[in-house]
Amino acid sequence: MTLLTRTEGAHAPARPRRGPALSSVPVLVFMTLVAAYMLLPVYWLLVSATKSQGDLVTTPGLLPADWHLGENLTALLTQQDGVYLRWLGNSLAYAGAGAAVGTLLAAMAGYALAVYRFKGREAVFSVILGGVLVPATALALPLFLLFAEVDATNTFWSVFLPSVVSPFGVYLSRIFATASIPGEVIEAARIDGAGEWTIFRSIALRMMSPALVTVFLFQFVVIWNNFLLPLIMLQDERLYPVTLGLFTWQSQTSRAPELQTLTLVGALVSVVPIVITFLLLQRYWRAGLAAGAVKS
C-alpha cells in the first residue's frame, strides 16, 4: 500500500505554474507609472540637449528634432574660455574630496561610538541624530557668519569644510560597526599587541567597507547637488561648482537666449560623473545593502 502510494505520487502530473495573481497587476501598473514619472525629466533633458536653440523654442519638449548634440557640446566647452570645465572640476574637487574625507570622519566617529564605552556616549549620539533632522538651509546662514568672522568666505574651504560633516554617515557607520565588528575580534587584536589605530585601520575599516561605500555615495551626491551653500559663500565665478554655474547661465537667458541650450547640455553632462560613480561602486553598494538587510 505504501509502495503504491509512493508510485502514484511519483507519477502524479505536475501542477501547471500559475501566472501572476490578479492582485499584482495593479501593483505592476502603479510601479510602471511611477518609473515613467521619474524617468520623464531625464528623457526630456536628453531630447532637449540634442536640439538647436531654434528647435528648442519651436518644437514640443518631448518630441525630438534635428540632431545638434555635437555642436551643443562644442559650444558648451568653449563658452567663456571653457569656464564650464572649470566648474565641473570644482564640483569634482568638492564632491570627491569632501565625500572621501567625510566618509573617513564618519567611520572614525561611528566606530568610536560603537566600540568604546564612555560617559555621555548616548547623549553625543542623540545630538548627532538631531543633526540628521536639521535641514541644510537652516545652517547656511550661520555657516556664512562663522566663515565671515575668520575672513574665509569666497574661498574653496568655505564650501569644502562644511561638506565633510555628515551626521547621517556617523549614524550609519555606528549602526553597521555595532552589527559587523565582533568584540572578540577587537579583544584578540589587543591581546596580540595591536594598537587602537591599527585595529581601526586594518580590521574595522575592512569590515565596515560596504557601509562606507554607501556613505561615500550618499555624501558624493549631496555635495554634488549642493546649491545653497555655494550661492551664499562664493562670489568668484572661478570657484563655482557646476550647479551654481548653470544657475548663473540660466538667469542670463533673457538677454542671451543661446545660454538656455548650453544650460540644458551642461545639466546633461553634469549627470555623467554621478552615473559613473554609481556604476563603479554599485557592487560594493549592493553588498552593503544586502549585509545590512541580513544583520538587521
pLDDT band at 9 (very low <50, low <70, confident <90, very high): very low
In tens, the pLDDT along 54-87 reads: 888 888 878 888 888 999 999 999 999 989 999 9
CB 82 within 8 A of CB 65: no
pLDDT band at 18 (very low <50, low <70, confident <90, very high): low
- Nearest by Cα to 98 from 242, 259, 216: 216
Question: What does the buried/exposed string (b/e) look like for 74-88 if buried means 16 or more CB atoms within 10 Å of the residue's CB?
Answer: ebbbeeeeebbebbb
In tens, the pLDDT along 114-165 reads: 999 889 888 999 999 888 888 888 888 899 999 999 999 999 999 999 999 9
pLDDT band at 294 (very low <50, low <70, confident <90, very high): very low
Cell of 65: 528634432
**pLDDT at residue 22, rounded to an integer:** 53
**pLDDT at residue 21, rounded to an integer:** 53
Question: What does the buried/exposed string (b/e) look like for 30-56 if buried means 16 or more CB atoms within 10 Å of the residue's CB?
Answer: eeeeeeeeeeeeeeeeebbbbbbbebb
**What is d(CA 234, CA 245) in angstroms, rounded to the nearest whole number?**
11
CB 46 within 8 A of CB 268: yes
* Domains of the chain from N-terminus onward: 30-67 (no CATH), 84-295 (1.10.3720.10)
In tens, the pLDDT along 163-176 reads: 999 999 999 999 98
3-state secondary structure the chain: CHHHHHHHHHCCCCCCCCCCCCCHHHHHHHHHHHHHHHHHHHHHHHHHHCCCHHHHHHCCCCCCCCCCHHHHHHHHHHCCCCHHHHHHHHHHHHHHHHHHHHHHHHHHHHHHHHHCCCCCHHHHHHHHHHHHHCCHHHHHHHHHHHHHHCCCCCCHHHHHHHHCCCHHHHHHHHHHHHHHCCHHHHHHHHHCCCCHHHHHHHHHHHHCHHHHHHHHHHHHHHHHCCCHHHHHHCCCHHHCCHHHHHHHHHCCCCCCCHHHHHHHHHHHHHHHHHHHHHHHHHHHHHHHHHHHHHHC
**pLDDT at residue 2, rounded to an integer:** 45
**What is d(CA 71, CA 256) in angstroms, rounded to the nearest whole number?**
17
In tens, the pLDDT along 21-30 reads: 556 888 889 9
**pLDDT at residue 54, rounded to an integer:** 87
80: left (phi > 0), else alpha (psi -120 to 50), else beta? left
**pLDDT at residue 293, rounded to an integer:** 43
pTM to 2 decimals?
0.82
82: left (phi > 0), else alpha (psi -120 to 50), else beta? left
Inter-CA distances, 56 with 115, 247, 254, Å: 58, 19, 15
CB 88 within 8 A of CB 76: no
